[in-house]
Amino acid sequence: MNMRYFTRQLFDALQPGPGEPDADRAIVLWEQNATQYSAALDELKPQLRDGFAWLADTTFHDGVITHVVTADGGQVIVAVDASNNPWGQVGAVRLRFDGVRSANGVDDCVGDVWLYEELHAVSDAIELCVLLEGGELCITADRLSVTFGP
């Protein structure tokens, strides 16, 4: 899947050049989508466990993905330097996804900047999609553990 609420197209529309008339429309739509996502996340929260429950209440906005490791047995590890995060967790964070069912964008995300994230239920797993400055990252997994520090 992909981002449903905070899409690349909508994000790009918020970054107009001088005199772009679509910016006001994009701001209204962004705010509507933020409200809709907040309601969807509130419905999802009772289903969330482990690190996904924690992640639902934070962000790594402006963090940089420093490395990604994919391992046999359905594991993906994503390290984020969230030192520049203005709103959420600050510092080094490691996300370990276990029981990975799909992982898209992991090969191209190192060095990219984390902008906005969404969590979605997919069957009996949880999907994290992240809008990055230059791409998108989506990982669907059974479990997520979060550790802090280098």
In a domain, 100, yes or no: yes
Asked if 71 contacts 97 with a C-beta cutoff of 8 angstroms, the reply is: no
Give the domain extent around 52. Answer: 8-148
CA distance 135 to 145: 24
Q: What pLDDT score was predicted for residue 46?
A: 97
**Low pLDDT (below 70) residues in the chain:** 1, 16-21
Helices and strands in the chain, H and E counts:
3, 8
Please count the other Cβ atoms lying within 10 Å of the Cβ belonging to residue 141: 24
In a domain, 2, yes or no: no
Question: Residues 1, 102, 57, 83: is their CA dihedral positive or negative?
Answer: negative
In a domain, 32, yes or no: yes
Q: What pLDDT score was predicted for residue 25?
A: 83
Asked if 146 contacts 54 with a C-beta cutoff of 8 angstroms, the reply is: yes
Vertex 27, ends 24 and 29: CA angle to 5°?
Answer: 110
In a domain, 84, yes or no: yes
Question: 38 is written with which tokens?
Answer: 């907040």
* Domains held by the chain: number: 1
Q: What pLDDT score was predicted for residue 18?
A: 56
In a domain, 129, yes or no: yes
In a domain, 108, yes or no: yes
Q: What is the pLDDT of residues 51-62, one digit of tens each?
A: 999 999 999 999
Asked if 145 contacts 51 with a C-beta cutoff of 8 angstroms, the reply is: yes
